[in-house]
Amino acid sequence: MQEARELCFQNEINVLELPPSSLCFYRDWVAPNRPLIIKNALGHWRALSKWTNDYLRDQIGGKEVTVSVTPNGYADSVVGDRFVMPEERRMKFVDFLDIMRHPTRHSGVFYIQKQNSNFSEEFKELLSDAELHIPWVTDALGRWPDAVNMWMGDSRAVTSMHKDHYENIYCVVKGEKQFILHPPTDAPFIPYDWYLQGRYKEVGGKFDIISEPGEKVPWICIDPLSDLSSSHRLYKVVKPIVCTVRAGEMLYLPSLWFHHVRQSHACIAVNFWYDMDYDVKYNYFQFVSKLSQLWQLQHK
């Protein structure tokens, strides 16, 4: 299984100064499953200049939105023997903005991160400041995005390491995002474990973990920020690829890439999830993953 390490990518993310043509994007980045940062791709989004706190308060201050709340910023992550999801709280957007201004006055870490196409569902009033899809990406992939999500939150909020079955176009409008990445070919060295499900619930300023119904779920049992993880028998073999995506930049995060995400305080981003092609690359990935699972089970 060590041979899988030959299947590696470069250790730096390529950067383009302008968006590529649809054909080049597909051929040079999507087909080979290579991440890419694209500058100057969002120049026509009014959001880049308009989305100040005052403007957002005027436009949607009175609207109710869904906010994820956790005691420590870790939503959808492992706590002890559980996979714990955030408390989902409905609040007026103006109240969320106030919390962003004085985060320590409140119990918990607040993050708008609901991945149910919340940009087109909950933030309709802002649609014309951005786009509902990225035309040259839609053309390249031959399909529309399945979801467009809005992200805004506390600098303590962390998205734990995971992978998605989507070609992900991540557009930063304000602040910056830090990504820690591993290519799908690192799968043999990304350890998973199975966890019962739980959910945070704040009661009187303190967070409890409440059991959620359902089977055990598999989740990655390392955290790239923890010293403990960096000495993990498997994980220490691989080297993460780290990048920062700044306001006005777009990250193409290819399908099945493992990613861990943080951001600057009150960073705003919009991402587009396009369904991936389940082609021979996917079949190969499944094959390598299954081999790795068998190997990990035998060497536990």
Interacting residues with a second copy (CB under 8 A): 3-4, 6-9, 22-24, 26-28, 30-34, 139-142, 183-185, 277, 279-281, 283-288, 290-291
* Distance, C-alpha 225 to centroid of its chain: 16
Return the number of the residue (144 or 287) whose C-beta is nearest a second copy.
287
CB of 272 to a second copy, least distance (A): 18
Judge whether 109 and 72 are in contact, CB under 8 Å: yes
CB of 28 to a second copy, least distance (A): 8
At a CB cut-off of 8 Å and minimum separation 6, what does 40 contact? 17, 18, 19, 248
Question: How do strand 74-75 and strand 158-162 relate by DSSP bridges?
Answer: parallel
Structure tokens at 155: 């600098």
Return the number of the residue (34 or 162) whose C-beta is nearest a second copy.
34
DSSP secondary structure of 58-87: HHHTTSEEEEEEESSSEESEEETTEEEEPE
Return the number of the residue (2 or 104) whose C-beta is nearest a second copy.
2
Return the number of the residue (83 or 272) whose C-beta is nearest a second copy.
272
Candidates 273, 270, 281; CA nearest to 131 is 270
Tell me the three state secondary structure of residue 193.
strand
Return the number of the residue (55 or 285) whose C-beta is nearest a second copy.
285
